[in-house]
Amino acid sequence: MKQSVKMIVGNWKMNGVSAALAQAEAIRDAVGTTEQGCRVVLCPPATLIDRMQSALTGSGVAVGGQDCHEKPAGAFTGSVSAEMLADAGATVVILGHSERRSAFGETDADVAAKVEAAIAAGLEPIVCVGETLQQRESGDAIAVVSGQVAGSLPSSLAERDFAVAYEPVWAIGTGLTPTLDQIAEVHAAVRAAIVAKLGDGARTAPILYGGSVKPDNARDILATPEVGGALVGGASLKAEEFMPIVNAAA
């Protein structure tokens, strides 16, 4: 596994039609004129992956998916396989996002199976973990997140490129952000859980922070120990908001 520079990932969620490609192109143009001190990935809806990849070919911006099915093919109406994402031009895929875990009932075992599918298709997985507000307030945040790491990362990830994204559920889209000390504490626990599961070879896997990352807090968050990048939601939809975050990592 290679030592990674900071990794800034934009998760567009269920946002974006053809007109939104102009924002991706603006991000492409801006990244092309800045120091290449970080990796930049945009994860649009599946309907835009092929067109976005065409628009970003040759640039410093990669394209990823937001989820994949654990099976390579079959009678799973409405689902998208990892192979399909790769065929459309994706090189990365977000798995186990809290919105998938809560709204679709995905378990750690489900996420681990999807990671295996991503590996088989040649995609780099970004595996999401995080606690709810109730779990945070009850003092269970570290145990919950460490357990999710152990259950969601299959042993086949050892020596492969992957990332883990810590996203406190209570901070996603709420404007709330943990303190820098809280972020550092959880990221240290995530690192320990990764190494316990996969060994020292996984010590350089980036741990991204996600949860109301904005231009005005990005630099401090990215300077926090064990923060290897950011998983950015709403602020990634517009170049004028996303690029200050990218520049803070460069």
CATH of the domain at 142: 3.20.20.70
Burial of 200 per CB tally in 10 Å (0-12, 13-18, 19+): exposed
Q: What is the pLDDT of residue 227?
A: 98
Q: Which listed residue (124, 167, 187, 226) is catalytic?
A: 167
The total of structural domains in the chain comes to 1
Q: What is the pLDDT of residue 114?
A: 98
Kindly state whether residue 245 falls inside one of the protein's structural domains. Answer: yes
Neighbouring CB atoms inside 10 A of 132's CB total 16
Start-to-end CA span in the chain (Å): 21
Q: What is the pLDDT of residue 1?
A: 59
Kindly state whether residue 123 falls inside one of the protein's structural domains. Answer: yes
The pLDDT of residue 65 is above 60: yes
Q: State which residues form the domain around 185.
A: 6-249
Q: Is 159 a residue of the active site?
A: no
Q: What is the pLDDT of residue 60?
A: 93
pTM of the model: 0.96
Q: Is 69 a residue of the active site?
A: no
Kindly state whether residue 1 falls inside one of the protein's structural domains. Answer: no
What are residue 9's DSSP bridge partners?
A: 41, 231
pLDDT classification of 148: cutoffs 50, 70, 90: very high
d(CA 25, CA 30): 9
Kindly state whether residue 160 falls inside one of the protein's structural domains. Answer: yes
Q: Which listed residue (97, 106, 124, 226) is catalytic?
A: 97
pLDDT classification of 173: cutoffs 50, 70, 90: confident
Bind-site residues: 11-13, 173, 212, 233-234
